Amino acid sequence: MTKHGLVIDQERCIGCQACAVSCKQENNVPMGQFWNRVLTEGGEKMDTPSGGYPEDGGSGSLDMQYQPTACQHCENAPCVKVCPVNATYTRDDGIVEIDYDKCIGCRYCMAACPYNARVFNWDEPEHMPEEGTGDVEARPQGVVEKCTFCSHRVDEGLDPACVVNCPADARIFGDLDDESSTVSKYIDKYETDQLLEDRGTDPNTYYISGEMSPGRPQTSDKMESELDDVSPWSDGDDDVPSKEADSAGGESSGSSHSVEGGEIPYATPAKSGGDD
Amino acid sequence: MSDPQQPRLTPIDEWENEAEAMLDDVEYDTDLGVQMARDAIRVSNGELTDAEFHEKYHEAVLEEFGEDERPTKPEGFEDD
């Protein structure tokens, strides 16, 4: 079986909101709504740190972490259990989706979601431009909507838009049931958390904190499972780097970035944006 | 209170107020929604089984929605 999951490396996240913007664009998310946001942990309000500025030559204690948040695609999803019409359901591959034709807008799923990941179309959705954006049909007024892990892309063998467009390679998507996938290896190797673990929802989204991972290894839009070779050189058209490319590349070769054989690929760590 | 329309992590002690706010103005039973949400988390926690959850709310859901298509329905459970 395949169980899709997402690993977000909070040490790599620079809080640029590219994931939020690309999600909105790709999924035709209405004006005023977000499926995917970068929250902050620190002060009492968004984008405010805890602690204080340095005083009298001291080092200060300002601290803030970026907390990208969207639907966690929980294994034990409470939203699925409360839906009286089975509009919210879990696909065989673990993605939690909404059948917008079935949704009656009761919002019970919103109340049950501990992550506040769902939004409701109170009014007729407005889009800019009017004809909408991306490859997903707009949802009507009166339904709940949320992140789908870009299931329309996943079904085509492509990574979610937020994953492909993260400039810090902080988002890694893959098959949690495949021990050799990068997501499984990172969860095994790095310290990871799931949000609100005490609620038992068992999200398929994991957050790395502490030690920075090498991040998403491939540059291709394709999912890792679609590639013969996962490397920073792979654009998905030719999965295995050519000898010419290797020799032109100089000091590195594709094989040193492969995740074959239990290796963790190396990439230059991004500057941490988590500690301000 | 912050806008319940936008994703955020709700501290557990604020959750119930926020859940009620989400269900305000909805044409369905607010109390039922809050109770089901609370118990759905208990199911996730393992404090309640899917079957117990289904049976507990089956009649209320039927009365409120005219149908009960929740996936928690235990095998052999007979709809009224």
Neighboring chain B residues of A33 at a CB cutoff of 8 Å: 5
Q: What is the pLDDT of residues A171-204, one digit of tens each?
A: 999 999 999 999 999 999 999 999 999 889 999 9
- List the single residue in B with minimal CA-CA distance to A196: B9
The whole-number pLDDT of residue B33 equals 96
| Residues contacting residue B12 through CB under 8 Å, at least 6 positions apart | none
The whole-number pLDDT of residue B16 equals 81
Query: Under an 8 A CB cutoff, do A119 and B6 touch?
Result: yes
The whole-number pLDDT of residue A270 equals 45
On whether residue A57 sits in a domain, the answer given is no
- List the single residue in B with minimal CA-CA distance to A145: B5
- How far is Cα A65 from Cα A38, in angstroms, rounded to an integer? 10
The count of domains in chain A is: 1
Among A32-41, A56-65, A211-220, which is the least confidently predicted range? Answer: A56-65
Q: What is the DSSP string of A69-95?
A: ES---BTT-HHHHH-TTS-EEE-TTS-
The whole-number pLDDT of residue B5 equals 52
Residue B18 in this model has a pLDDT that exceeds 90: no
| Residues contacting residue B70 through CB under 8 Å, at least 6 positions apart | A81, A82, A83, A84, A86, B54, B61
A134 or A202, which is more confident: A202
3-state secondary structure A92-119: CCCCEEECCCCCCCCCHHHHHCCCCCCE
Query: What integer is the mean pLDDT of A3-25?
Result: 96
- Domain residue extents for chain B: 27-71
Per the CB < 8 A criterion, the answer to whether A224 and A230 are in contact is: yes
The whole-number pLDDT of residue A273 equals 42
Distance from CA of A47 to the nearest CA of B (A): 13
The whole-number pLDDT of residue A257 equals 37
- What CATH number is given to the structural domain containing A13? 3.30.70.20
Query: What integer is the mean pLDDT of B54-71?
Result: 96
Q: In which band, very low, low, confident or very high, does the pLDDT at A47 lie, cut at 50, 70 and 90?
A: confident
- Rounded to 5 degrees, what are φ and ψ at B51? -65, -45
Neighboring chain B residues of A42 at a CB cutoff of 8 Å: none
- Rounded to 5 degrees, what are φ and ψ at A88? -90, 125
Among A153-157, A256-260, B76-80, which is the least confidently predicted range? Answer: A256-260
On whether residue A34 sits in a domain, the answer given is yes
Peptide bond between residue A129 and the one before it cis (omega within 30 degrees of 0): yes
Q: Which domain holds residue A126?
A: 4-43+64-218
Query: What integer is the mean pLDDT of A13-27?
Result: 96
- Rounded to 5 degrees, what are φ and ψ at A257? -105, 0
A230 or A93, which is more confident: A93
The whole-number pLDDT of residue A162 equals 98
The whole-number pLDDT of residue A271 equals 43
The percent of residues above 70 in pLDDT, for chain A, comes to: 83
